[in-house]
Amino acid sequence: MVRQRRLGVLALLQEERCHPHCSCFPVAPGPLRVGQEGGELIYHGIESDHTFRGKEITRLDSDLGTLLTVVLQANGDAGGRDFTLVGPKAFGVTRQQPVTFGTLGIKTTTRGFIATPGVGLTYDLLPLVGQAKDVILPL
């Protein structure tokens, strides 16, 4: 017999193109592993596909909503790249009635060790359509 639990799932897709798209689980499906407690964010983008769990996801509650940030490319000599997902709070979500909403993904790029004039960070804003669902995930 498989034990099951109900969880809210946030699945986000970009409006205009197929990249990136990601899924975010407030609690990761499957058995808990030490160091991977917490949620799971699955990212599919032009850079590659990544699955982030637990401490790999930085969570910040703000006036914009919950900001979930993951590192796509570590900041080295050539610069780094992060992805931040803006997740608003959803109300009235049921299994029969998911809630659809608009939101943003933000790719932040750092310059690295470049000694020319310019800014330290650049941003790519990605319009996303999200859907909050109440689903059952296996343990």
Residue 74 lies in a domain: yes
- 21-64 tens-digit pLDDT: 666 666 555 555 555 556 778 888 777 788 888 888 898 999 99
Q: How far is CA 88 from CA 41, 118, 129, 139, in A?
A: 16, 33, 12, 26
More confident residue, 122 or 53: 122
Residue 99 lies in a domain: yes
Which residue range is the domain that position 107 belongs to? 4-133
Residue 139 lies in a domain: no
More confident residue, 85 or 28: 85
Q: Residue 88: its pLDDT value, please? A: 86
More confident residue, 18 or 119: 119
Q: Which positions ≥6 away from 34 have C-beta within 8 Å?
A: none
Residue 81 lies in a domain: yes
Q: How many domains does the chain have?
A: 1
- 90-108 tens-digit pLDDT: 888 888 888 888 888 899 9
CA 123 from chain centre, in angstroms, equals 16
Q: How far is CA 138 from CA 7, 93, 117, in A?
A: 10, 20, 52
- 59-78 tens-digit pLDDT: 899 999 889 999 998 877 78
The Cα 133–Cα 139 span in angstroms is: 18
Residue 138 lies in a domain: no
- What is the rounded average pLDDT of the residues 9-22? 53
Are 48 and 60 within 8 A, CB to CB? no
Residue 23 lies in a domain: yes
